[in-house]
Amino acid sequence: MIQQHRKSAGGRSLRSGPVLRGRLWVEFARTAAFTEAGADLLEQIAACGSLSEAARRLRFSYRRAWMLIDAMNRYWPRPLAKTAVGGKRGGGTRLTELGRQVLSSYRDLQVQLEHLLDQASPGFLAILPDRDMK
C-alpha cells in the first residue's frame, strides 16, 4: 500500500487535510494474483532467502505467508518463488526470474502512482479553502 511508503517519507500522513491514497494489484481471470502484501513478501524473501524469516519480518503468520506464496504460484503461469529441497541450507526459498521481474515492475508502477498522487494532491487541497461557502 502506498500509505506505507508515505509514512516513512517524513510523516506527511500526520497532516489533517485530505490525503490521496492508492493501491495497485494484478489480476488473472478477475482474481487478485499479486498484491502489496505479495510484493512485500517476495521482497523479504529476496532479502533473506527464507520464507519463515520473511514472514517474521513482516509479522505475517507462517501459514499466511505460505498460503500467499502458494496462491501466487498457482495464479501465475509459472511460480514466482521456489523452495529448495535438501542442500546445506535445505528449505530456503528464492525468487524465480519471473518473480523478480513481476516484483520490479510492480514497484516501478507504485512509484508512478505515488508520483501521480503527489501531483494531484495540490488540486485536492485547493478545493477546500472556503470555495463551498458561497
Which residues lie near its own copies (CB under 8 A)? 13, 16-30, 32-34, 76-78, 96-98, 101-102, 105, 108-109, 112-113, 116-117, 120, 123-124, 127-128, 131-134
- CB nearer its own copies, residue 26 or residue 51: 26
At closest approach, how far in Å is the CB of 90 from its own copies?
23
At closest approach, how far in Å is the CB of 28 from its own copies?
6
- CB nearer its own copies, residue 21 or residue 74: 21
Provide long-range contacts, Cβ within 8 A and 24+ apart, for 84-93: 89/49, 91/50, 92/49, 92/50, 93/45, 93/49, 93/50, 93/51, 93/54, 93/69
Cα R_g (the chain), whole angstroms: 19
CA 65, CA 44: separation in Å to the nearest integer? 11
CA 35, CA 101: separation in Å to the nearest integer? 14
- CB nearer its own copies, residue 13 or residue 61: 13
- CB nearer its own copies, residue 36 or residue 53: 36
